[in-house]
Structure 1
Amino acid sequence: MFIVESNLPLTARFALASIAVGTSGISTGLVAWCGMPYVITLRRLNPEENSGAEGVEMTTLNLFLRPKITTVYDPMFLVETKRAFAKWELAGAITLPAGKSIAPGTEETVAETTDKEGNIIGRWIVTWGNDGEGTCHQVGDIIRYFNVHEELLI
């Protein structure tokens, strides 16, 4: 735009170049937002490899196509979501099933996200309150939303 001879003033050329770069950035951001929760592999964790409980391990990709592995230690914390382009999310609040109890104020890690080397980059932690009600929060960069294709659920 700047090399080609034209009758456009320099400010108009800068405006056109800015619009082109801005549009490209916005579209890349939208594609990343839509594709971020897409699960490429789903693996069920047996009780033997997950401290006596069933769990789920999901692999997603970031904008640079680097894998991020999120391990959910208790599938009870995966709930349906209303977010577009996602099927599940990590629950923000949860109530223990009848018959189970836990001491108020106790915290436990429900899910962890790691990079491909296994370094923990984020955790989803529940803090238990009275009557088995838990409130969850993130520490670090956890993947919270997941778009799981039906073929992976078999």
Structure 2
Amino acid sequence: MDEKGIQLGGGHKNSNTLYFFDKEDKSHYILKSDSLVLVTIIECACTDGIMVPLGIILLQGSAEWVISHIQIILRVTETENGWTNDAICHQWFNKVFIPFAKSYSDPTKLILLIFDGHGSHEAPEMIDYAYEHGIILGELPPHTTHHLQSLDVSIFGPL
């Protein structure tokens, strides 16, 4: 599990304009940017490549547009700043990860969730809930995610 912050916008405050770039374009930025909006994505992948449904955290007031324009099933929520926090992480863990992992895995085996050391992953409620559901939480050592965390290298690296 990992999260990635992505900036949307580019200088047109409250214009509801999204900018899309060709994957070949190496300069993914807009000049005169005074109103960049941060979107945080919580993503998780199984070892066989199956992706757990995304968790998307938007700036408060943005979710309605996304929900009405995106036709795939996602878990979308809002915070005042568009960042994740303990409550959001716990909500994603309970409502997205656990149901998906339980439906996809062998019920006789434990589930391993590997994550970085972000504080929201270490909330006591999440640790207790993981234990109750047969999930082992494996935290990577600090400052090693660029080398050890496969989501940073393979999924988020190109972003």
Structure with the higher strand share, 1 or 2 = 1
User: Which protein has the larger Cα radius of gyration, Structure 1 or Structure 2?
Assistant: 1
